């Protein structure tokens, strides 16, 4: 791992790295400590008390961020007929059936989210080795295998994001950009926190939410107190 630069070290000296901050305070700090010239992404990492090796403790789903992610999301849809036309009308970036499968097999991966109608899954299943490792395989658990393609495309375009536990039981979710207000970042964070609490597996034992931290792309981590709600979450 490359050593941190001077700006990173200067930033870590400007706050208490061990303190648990209220959400509003934490996101205000993230914004003040972001020093790069590009609009850094703000991410939240949740450390959960689950064992992801056990199927009944794996957490995966989607959540709509009230203020979006600040990123333009490219959506690919595997559909035919009326549903293909519905996807196009909803703003999908690329739509196809056999032809789109062939393009992906040929190396086309210029998209961030894939959606498929159920009847397309036998075709899309052939792309498992390509889409699976990149987290792009349509999945009923995340609502990306659906007959309601228009609404699903619109939701992802508006700021719906996927979440899932990694091999260590952590969940990483982008909640916006440094250019967002602290209130917008806090509202997005609260939506994710509420969703993770809702998705708590019945099999999870002991403390569920073990730790939460946030950082910008190039900034230091700031700990958030998960028991503290934002002073004013704006919708």
Structural domain boundaries of the chain?
7-69+160-224, 75-157
Largest CA-CA distance found in the chain, in angstroms, rounded = 58
What pLDDT, on the 0 to 100 scale, is given for residue 234? 43
Q: How far apart are CA 7 and CA 35, in angstroms?
A: 7
The Cα-based distances of 50 to 158, 164, 170, 197 in angstroms read: 30, 12, 9, 12
Pairing of strands 94-96, 75-78: parallel
Instruction: At 216, give phi and psi (nearest 5°).
Output: -90, 175
CATH number for 75-157 (one of 3.40.50.150, 3.40.1390.10, 3.30.1360.30, 3.40.50.790): it is: 3.40.50.790
Taking a C-beta distance cutoff of 8 angstroms, is the pair 59, 201 a contact? Answer: yes
pTM of the model as a whole = 0.78
What pLDDT, on the 0 to 100 scale, is given for residue 35? 80
What pLDDT, on the 0 to 100 scale, is given for residue 145? 96
Taking a C-beta distance cutoff of 8 angstroms, is the pair 51, 208 a contact? Answer: no
CATH number for 7-69+160-224 (one of 2.30.42.10, 3.40.50.2000, 3.30.190.20, 1.20.1260.10): it is: 3.30.190.20
The pLDDT profile of the chain, 235 residues, written as one tens digit per residue, is: 445 555 555 555 566 778 899 999 999 999 998 887 899 999 999 999 999 889 899 898 889 999 999 988 999 999 999 999 999 999 999 999 999 999 999 999 999 999 999 999 999 999 999 999 998 999 998 899 999 999 999 999 988 998 999 999 999 999 999 999 999 999 999 999 999 999 999 988 889 999 999 999 888 899 999 887 765 444 4
User: Is 6 buried (19+), middle (13-18) or exposed (0-12) by CB count in 10 A?
Assistant: exposed
In which residue are the tokens 């509420």 written? 194
What pLDDT, on the 0 to 100 scale, is given for residue 6? 56
What pLDDT, on the 0 to 100 scale, is given for residue 26? 94
Q: How far apart are CA 117 and CA 228, in angstroms?
A: 40
Beta bridge partners of 77: 95, 115
Q: How far apart are CA 229 and CA 186, in angstroms?
A: 9
What pLDDT, on the 0 to 100 scale, is given for residue 7? 54
Closest CA to 210 of 170, 165, 163, 162: 170
- CA gyration radius, the chain: 19
What pLDDT, on the 0 to 100 scale, is given for residue 235? 42
């Amino acid at each position: 791992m490359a050593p941190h630069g001077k700006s990173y070290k200067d930033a870590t000296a400007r706050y208490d790295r061990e303190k648990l901050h209220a959400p509003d305070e934490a996101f205000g700090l993230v914004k003040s400590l972001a020093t790069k010239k590009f609009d850094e992404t703000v991410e939240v990492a949740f450390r959960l008390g689950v064992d992801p090796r056990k199927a009944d403790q794996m957490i995966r789903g989607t959540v709509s961020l009230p203020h979006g992610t600040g990123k333009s999301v490219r959506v690919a849809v595997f559909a035919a007929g009326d549903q293909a036309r519905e996807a196009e009308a909803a703003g999908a970036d690329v739509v196809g059936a056999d032809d789109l499968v062939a393009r992906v097999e040929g190396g086309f991966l210029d998209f961030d989210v894939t959606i498929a109608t159920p009847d397309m899954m036998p075709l899309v299943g052939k792309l498992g080795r390509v889409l699976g490792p990149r987290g792009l395989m349509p999945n009923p658990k995340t609502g990306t295998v659906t007959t309601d393609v228009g609404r699903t495309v619109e939701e992802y375009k508006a700021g719906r994001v996927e979440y899932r536990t990694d091999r260590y039981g952590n969940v990483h979710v982008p909640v916006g950009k440094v250019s967002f207000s602290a209130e917008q970042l806090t509202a997005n964070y609260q939506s994710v926190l509420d969703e993770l609490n809702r998705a708590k597996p019945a099999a999870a034992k002991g403390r569920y939410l073990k730790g939460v931290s946030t950082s910008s792309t190039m900034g230091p981590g700031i700990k958030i107190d998960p028991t503290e709600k934002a002073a004013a979450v704006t919708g």
